[in-house]
Amino acid sequence: MFVPCGDSVPDLAGCTLLMPAVSVGNVGQLAIDLIISTLNMYKIGYFYTDCLVPMVGNNPYATAEENSTELSINAEVYASPSKKLVALQLRSIFIKYKSKSFCEKLLFWVKSSNCAKVVVLSSSHSYHRNDLQLRSTPFRYLLTPSIQKSVQNKIQSLNWEEMEKSPCIPEIDDSEFCVRIPGGGITKTLYDEGCSKEIPMVILLKFVSEGDNIPDALGLVEYLNEWLQIIKPCCVDPSASALPWKMPSSWRLLFGSGLPPALF
Amino acid sequence: MAATFFGEVVRAPCRAGTEDEEEEEEEGRRETPEDGEVRQQLARKREVRFLRRQTKTTLEVSLLEKYPCSKFIIAIGNNAVAFLSSFIMNSGVWEEVGCAKLWNEWCRTVDTTHLSPTEAFCVFYHLKSNPSVFGSCPRKNMQVTILTCRHVTDYKTSESTSSLHTPFLKALKTQNFREPPCCSLLEQPNIVHDLPAAVLSYCQVWKISAILYLCYTDVMKLDLITVEAFKPVLSSRSLKSLVKNIPQSTEILKKLMTTNEIQSNIYT
């Protein structure tokens, strides 16, 4: 359930909700971190649930000593009112058998808060790609029927590729075709529920492998930015070294502590 | 999937924990009513129950309703529990008010009646002489203190963990906790998970004043030096009044160590 930080429930009507699916390489979550950090979004509440493994830590977007001691939990909601953007960040994995329950609770909240649309950032195992997918861009999109009319034209003008359908049961020759997102966590469930509950939802995903997924996250936010124009490019020069996306301070030591000098 | 050096293809674990999701979906499709019934029974078995240990009767109302309190101290893990037993619960009369009984597939302890204070279990006590600890104040004025340990290799720092002086104490506090903590705060990117995180998350969301003291140590079994690393906590405003006799506490602690050593003999 959504619990606001302050005393009153913020008005999310007409906002775009960005959220990650906990998926291969944690790309969606890294992308949301980049968005929250770059836009300096502030926390407006918690999505308090028993479906995710509990986790706490100090402010992952701290920029100075003063703002580094605010406690963060595993599911929090941030806002940027000027851009009519709301971001839900999920920081831990689902407890077994609780992912469907989480999707139901989440979509119930989305519907009741009257968000204009939901954008799910996700990823899928790159080793599952077929030959055509191997030769094309690694980015894909999916739209639920209720949003198709309003965004189809814009999406087509961007020349984006829709996520292809594949055989539901690959071993059987005449199997039906459906959308499969291996490694995508709750992405498929969210998409199916979004379709059946008539929620305007867009899924954006990238084919990735596990490893250092920061470049994948940067790619995914750039892909999102082509459409939503969250940030304007700071300069037209493509060789500019400065990245427009700000990495949060919590991305330090992603691959562990320092090495013992005696190792060398 | 990943290819290994020897040319075999193995299933690489996914950091995002999504491997189970596909199995779950397939299980969902194939699940019969009998499977659903088994799953429900398992879920009921895993429920946490609160009961009075001596009589084994279930507590009819929630513990905090029956014993509303202003200070709630929770120790998780053998070193934290030993510290609490020796330094805080050695003075005054502490009455046992209940215990939590739980089961999951990983449990080895079955007998709940005979436990030393150092075994991992959950027993609730209240201080008979001081009504303000488990007194009659509303929940909003309650202060929660959580004590636990973690292995030092969990601690992320730009230096190597082998160069750190263990054990050391770190703290995490909720927004409503106004006192200065007894040690430095846990720096990013370090996090805490499981039960201590669950308690602290609850307190943060529902605006309860709470602090978690986390001892990073390289000895996870019961250890005198690790337990004593919690000592700075005794000077905190909320716990100071509960601490009476520190030399006596150290004696109690030493006795606890000896008892535990005998019990943990590999041949018994």
Provide ipTM, 2 decimals.
0.90
Chain A contact for B12, CB < 8 A?
A: yes
Cβ-nearest to A250 among B155, B158, B189: B189
pTM: 0.85
**Mutation for A interface: B11, B21, B190, B209, most A CBs within 10 A:** B21
> Is residue A238 within 8 Å of A183, Cβ to Cβ?
no
| pLDDT for B136 | 33
| Residue A250: C-alpha distances to residues A63, A124, B162, B240 (Å) | 10, 24, 22, 35
> Using one digit for the tens of pLDDT, what is the confidence trace for B5-22?
777 777 666 666 655 555
Cβ contact B204–A56 (<8 Å): yes
Six token digits for residue A43: 């926390």
**Mutation for B interface: A29, A32, A56, A103, most B CBs within 10 A:** A56
**Mutation for A interface: B1, B15, B18, B105, most A CBs within 10 A:** B18
State the DSSP string of B48-59.
-EEEETTTTEEP
| Helices marked H in A3-92 | 27-38
> Using one digit for the tens of pLDDT, what is the confidence trace for B88-144?
776 666 666 666 655 555 555 444 444 444 444 566 666 555 444 433 334 557 888
Q: With the CA atoms of B78, B84, B89 and B91 taken in that order, what torsion angle do they form, in degrees rounded to the nearest 10? A: 130
| pLDDT for A83 | 93
For B23, nearest residue in chain A (alpha carbons): A97
Q: Which of residues 116-175 of B touch A (CB under 8 A)?
A: 155-163, 172-175
> Is residue A100 within 8 Å of A189, Cβ to Cβ?
yes
Closest of A21, A20, A24 to residue A211, by C-alpha: A24
> Is residue A79 within 8 Å of A32, Cβ to Cβ?
no
Would the pLDDT of B219 be above 80?
Answer: yes
**In Å, how far is A143's CA from the nearest CA of chain B?**
22
**In Å, how far is A156's CA from the nearest CA of chain B?**
31
Q: Which of residues 18-47 of B touch A (CB under 8 A)?
A: 18, 20-22, 24-25, 28, 39
CA distance B18 to A94: 9
Q: pLDDT tens for chain A, 264 residues: list them.
A: 999 998 888 999 999 999 999 999 999 999 999 999 999 999 999 999 999 999 999 999 998 888 888 999 999 999 999 999 999 999 999 988 888 999 999 999 999 999 999 999 999 999 989 888 999 999 999 999 999 989 988 998 999 999 998 887 777 777 788 899 999 999 999 999 999 999 999 999 999 999 999 999 999 999 999 999 988 765 555 555 556 899 999 998 888 888 888 888
Cβ contact A257–B204 (<8 Å): no
Cβ-nearest to B193 among A26, A53, A68: A53
Cβ-nearest to A26 among B15, B185, B195: B15
Residue percentage of chain B with pLDDT more than 90: 18
B155 contact residues in A (CB cutoff 8 A): 257
